């Protein structure tokens, strides 16, 4: 995607929740919203405002890594430790029934902050795009020469073969309704790929619709 297209889509994405807020605010000021519906409408406005905040933060983050504006601090990072921390944080902040296993180990020279953001995005996806009662994530860390190969496999809804590459494009969401309901902007995988590239690595998806998704992250020295 060229910069012009990125700008056009970014503006469109920001305008959408702003229009919703304007719409509801008008309904309130014209007295169209009844007393009983007021609380619910205010909640809706707040939700859209939060959406804009998340979107702008993610956009700034994405532009930061793409344009090399972000400070990067390389250090020795133990991937198993980082992953366990991310899983613990996610479990503490969700009511979803999640089962995560982590096997293997490996360390790289990397930026712990950026890698944490990447892992958060990938694990969150495995939970959000998952309609199972128990959301299972199987994580494995392997070493291959100088590289660490991390795989994160979920038992979620899966991705069609034709869309496995498209999902890395900014703002690309397979089910806009499902993503919107969860406040998702379609930037997580684009950000994650950017972070993998900063680490001389790559990120790819292997998946089958209805059968879950396996994300493979290769991280270099
Ligand atoms: N593990 C997964 N299983 C099924 N579908 C997925 C998975 N991960 C991503 N997707 C699909 O790919 C799309 C893009 O994912 P991405 O993480 O980039 O954005 P998002 O989750 O929509 O929003 P954001 O991560 O910015 O909050 C998602 O909207 C979803 O349709
Ligand atoms: Mg996501």
Strands 98-104 and 135-144: parallel
CATH code for position 210: 3.30.565.10
Mean pLDDT of 174-187: 84
pLDDT digits (tens, 9 = 90+) for 104-158: 999 999 999 999 999 999 999 999 999 999 999 999 999 998 899 999 999 999 9
Residue 191 pLDDT: 98
Residue 48 pLDDT: 93
- Between CA 54 and CA 52 the distance in angstroms is 6
What pTM, to 2 d.p., does this model score?
0.94
Q: What is the DSSP string of 35-57?
A: HHHHHHHHHHHHHHHHHHHHHHH
Examine the domain organization and report whether 102 and 136 are in the same domain. yes
Task: For a ligand 1 pocket test, name from 179, 190, 196, 204 the mutation site with the most ligand atoms within 8 angstroms of its C-beta.
Answer: 179
Total domains, the chain: 2
The residue written with tokens 């590289």 in the block is 147
pLDDT digits (tens, 9 = 90+) for 12-24: 999 999 999 999 9
Residue 55 belongs to domain spanning: 3-66
Pocket around ligand 1 at a 6 A CB cut-off:
58, 121, 125-126, 129, 154, 156-159, 167, 172-175, 179, 184-190, 213
Annotate 137-174 with b (16+ C-beta within 10 A) or e (fewer): bbbebeeeeebbbbbbbbbbbbbeeeebeebbbbbbbb
């Amino acid at each position: 995607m060229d910069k012009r297209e990125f700008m056009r889509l970014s503006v469109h994405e920001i305008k959408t929740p702003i229009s919703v807020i304007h719409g509801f605010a008008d309904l309130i000021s014209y007295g169209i919203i009844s007393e009983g519906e007021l609380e619910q409408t205010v909640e809706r406005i707040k939700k859209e405002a939060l959406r804009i905040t998340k979107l702008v933060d993610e956009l700034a983050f994405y532009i930061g890594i793409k344009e090399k504006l972000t400070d990067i601090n390389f250090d020795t990072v133990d991937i198993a430790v980082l992953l366990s921390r991310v899983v613990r944080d996610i479990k503490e902040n969700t009511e979803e029934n999640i089962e995560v296993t982590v096997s293997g180990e490996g360390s790289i020279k990397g930026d712990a902050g950026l890698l944490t953001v990447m892992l958060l995005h990938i694990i969150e996806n495995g939970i959000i795009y998952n309609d199972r009662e128990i959301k299972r994530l199987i994580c494995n860390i392997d070493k291959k020469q100088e590289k660490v190969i991390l795989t994160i496999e979920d038992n979620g809804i899966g991705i069609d073969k034709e869309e496995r590459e498209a999902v890395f494009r900014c703002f690309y969401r397979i089910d806009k309704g499902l993503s919107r309901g969860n406040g998702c902007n379609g930037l997580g995988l684009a950000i994650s790929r950017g972070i993998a590239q900063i680490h001389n690595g790559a990120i790819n998806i292997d998946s089958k619709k209805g059968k879950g998704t396996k994300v493979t992250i290769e991280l270099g020295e």
